[in-house]
Chain A
């Protein structure tokens, strides 16, 4: 019996989400988030990974009660568990209590710092606003002092208090936003793509800043991004979203070592490794599903190399799959008593036998073995795909072998190793 390492013991939970569904009303209602459940433990980093259209940003807005019409929470609940006091069901908060709850307990850091700062107000004003709204008893001098402290927390000098957002670099703006989120020492900080628009060096700096602050103040982080490789580095636990659902959920290390859901497998293989061996990589061909159409069965069928009959009819729910939990019918003992196929267990994103892995750099370039394409019948079924235009898989790039003067690359072509 496998141990469910993904569960969190009750007293440690700071935020629990149960069966949350969000719909955008309209002529064709879009079910952007479907039955999402997870627990956030106090002080942990939960990463939410997914691509455009998977619903992760909608989820973030739903949790923080920032959804705007036509979006609305269709069902489910979000409960906040303060360290002192009874649990708070966020849907019961309205008006003034909601306003008071905001930022004190749950703060949010938005994407890109491009537009998240008011262009016509100084940094000082925008930081002080938080105190004016939530700590009205503070005097001006005390507010100023606190604002300086906040900037100091993120390594920005106090002279920047008088600056305007357009006078700061992208990295600095992001740090101001993070400092602003720290103002009331919240329990949870939700970060929606906080480093996407930034250079990789600045990004590394910001991540370390967040880590330092977390070590000091002990808040939990929900980190939302499309960059799965980043999340694997920084998260304690990870949830992968696709088509509005969480399709895989577990500890980051487990997810990396033994991903269970085909989408996770495919996604992991979409990141070329900086170091280590070069392998044939394909990504996940196809497009995300159109969530305004009613979906029967699993949302991933159009792109999944392991699809079988039941996938078209049954919408899988999260179930134990090895060391993680995955929403995939291959892990349903009733349908698949022998478990998932060999290729999936081995972490491949195709249903054929293994290709040869290639050696460390300096050796041969990787060659798609005998020119065989991975099977792509999953891309064909028109009823599951809303888009008749398909793009077949490509073979992997071959290194340019024709220029001997650039190094010891033997010419490509013909034969495998």
Chain B
């Protein structure tokens, strides 16, 4: 049973806005846990920091502050820990066209991690391991696929190769950064179903980064909603989607296309305010207040997380324990 614990992860970038020194808090104080056999969805729009989080988890970027622990051991403890970490935590990227080197065969792509992490050494072992990986992602006949170059495969097939590559070093954590958003709609579910099956077979912990609430609900047991670097709501998937507590989640849920909704009716739920400058990420307080119709004076102060239900929390002053008694204050 593997646990990846992320505590107060942050990534700050210094900005120079004229004379002033500001900080862009791309990711701010994010904490969560990934456990074997579970999928956690990280939902956010572009610019929310979700890809940055994934990249920090896989060590493509170093966090500014915060800690990542794999089974209690901090990542950067020593050289060996880093090596082991890299083997245990693997990522599947968004772009099936960009993540494979067009000059090399599928076999080459799978061979390298196998050799690098010592999963297979001799030519015979490697070949067998490559075929085994391809079979696991349902790319058959394996020996034919292994000889192909990326441009000879379809988008879905390429993504399967990318998944096989991620599985090659026998990881325990799988980070899927928008793995299907660049694929045709009709094959997205196959890829997601594949990841889910592999999760069960290999007892992986999966982090599913996406902007699509619907697939997040389908695929994950818990959802974290990210807005401009902060987790604004988290909880069991159905809870978060069907009973969203944070105004931003409500906005997302009402903006998503829903064929079940009758036409010519304006979508109920949230209408965000438009226009004006966005609140700077280092200004303190709730970052959503410039768009939130329910914004109050207190929203200028740092918002803690408030429980909303079993395992369900929202970072919103509307849900503070005594909110019921107080009248809503004007901004």
* A and B: interacting chains: yes
Which residue numbers of A lie inside 8 Å of B, CB to CB?
51-52, 155, 199-201, 203-205, 208, 226-230, 232-234, 252-253, 256, 266-267, 270-276, 278, 281-288, 361-362, 387-400, 402-403, 405-409
- B180-202 CB contact bits vs A (8 Å, 1 = yes)? 00001111111011101100100
Distance from B285 Cβ to chain A, minimum over Cβ atoms (Å): 21
Residue contact B218 to A51, C-beta cutoff 8 Å: no
Residue contact B222 to A406, C-beta cutoff 8 Å: yes
Distance from A57 Cβ to chain B, minimum over Cβ atoms (Å): 14
Query: Which residues of B, 238-269, contact A by the 8 Å Cβ criterion?
Result: 238-239, 241-242, 251-261, 263, 266-267
Residue contact A275 to B190, C-beta cutoff 8 Å: no
Residues of B within 8 A of A405 (CB): 311
Partner of A256, one of B211, B219, B256, B259: B259
**Contact flag A228-B37 (CB < 8 Å), given A204-B255, A282-B193, A399-B221:** no
Once bound together, how far apart are the Cα atoms of A323 and B292, in whole Å? 43
**Contact flag A270-B185 (CB < 8 Å), given A275-B258, A361-B238, A398-B200:** yes
Residue contact A252 to B263, C-beta cutoff 8 Å: yes
B142 — nearest CB in chain A belongs to which residue?
A: A389
Residue contact B184 to A271, C-beta cutoff 8 Å: no
Q: Is the interface of A mostly helix, strand, loop or mixed?
A: loop
Partner of A406, one of B259, B263, B311: B311
Say if the beta carbon of B217 comes within 8 Å of chain A. yes
Residues of B within 8 A of A393 (CB): 190, 193
Query: Which residues of B, 162-190, contact A by the 8 Å Cβ criterion?
Result: 184-190
Instruction: Name the 10 nearest CB pairs between A and B, nearest first.
Output: A361-B238, A394-B193, A397-B196, A283-B189, A284-B186, A272-B218, A232-B259, A400-B38, A204-B255, A51-B184
Residue contact A275 to B260, C-beta cutoff 8 Å: yes
Which residue numbers of B lie inside 8 Å of A, CB to CB?
35, 37-39, 45-46, 137-141, 144-145, 148, 153-157, 160, 184-190, 192-194, 196-197, 200, 211, 213-215, 217-219, 221-222, 236-239, 241-242, 251-261, 263, 266-267, 272, 274, 310-311
Residue contact A281 to B242, C-beta cutoff 8 Å: no
Once bound together, how far apart are the Cα atoms of A125 and B267, in whole Å? 36
Residue contact B257 to A400, C-beta cutoff 8 Å: no
Residues of A within 8 A of B188 (CB): 270, 283
Residue contact A272 to B257, C-beta cutoff 8 Å: no
Once bound together, how far apart are the Cα atoms of A405 and B266, in whole Å? 38
Residue contact A403 to B190, C-beta cutoff 8 Å: no
Distance from A81 Cβ to chain B, minimum over Cβ atoms (Å): 26
Residues of A within 8 A of B213 (CB): 200, 274
Distance from A352 Cβ to chain B, minimum over Cβ atoms (Å): 18
**12 A-B residue pairings within 8 Å (CB atoms):** A201-B255, A205-B274, A276-B260, A278-B218, A287-B154, A390-B138, A391-B137, A397-B193, A402-B38, A403-B221, A406-B236, A407-B221
Residue contact B211 to A270, C-beta cutoff 8 Å: no
Once bound together, how far apart are the Cα atoms of A252 and B155, in whole Å? 29
Residues of B within 8 A of A266 (CB): 186
Residue contact B157 to A389, C-beta cutoff 8 Å: yes
B35 — nearest CB in chain A belongs to which residue?
A: A403
> Knowing that A274-B213, A391-B160, A391-B190 are A-B contacts, what are 5 other residue pairs whose CB atoms are under 8 Å apart, sorted by A's residue number?
A200-B213, A205-B274, A267-B185, A284-B187, A400-B38
Residues of B within 8 A of A402 (CB): 35, 37-38
Residue contact B196 to A199, C-beta cutoff 8 Å: no
Residues of A within 8 A of B237 (CB): 361
Residues of A within 8 A of B211 (CB): 199-200
Residue contact A201 to B258, C-beta cutoff 8 Å: no
A235 — nearest CB in chain B belongs to which residue?
A: B263
Q: Which of B137, B153, B186, B254 has the most CB of A within 10 A?
A: B186
Distance from B168 Cβ to chain A, minimum over Cβ atoms (Å): 19
Residues of B within 8 A of A361 (CB): 237-239, 241-242
B45 — nearest CB in chain A belongs to which residue?
A: A199
Partner of B272, one of A201, A285, A391: A201
Once bound together, how far apart are the Cα atoms of A388 and B221, in whole Å? 36
**Contact flag A389-B255 (CB < 8 Å), given A271-B214, A400-B221:** no
Once bound together, how far apart are the Cα atoms of A200 and B255, in whole Å? 6
Residues of A within 8 A of B252 (CB): 200-201
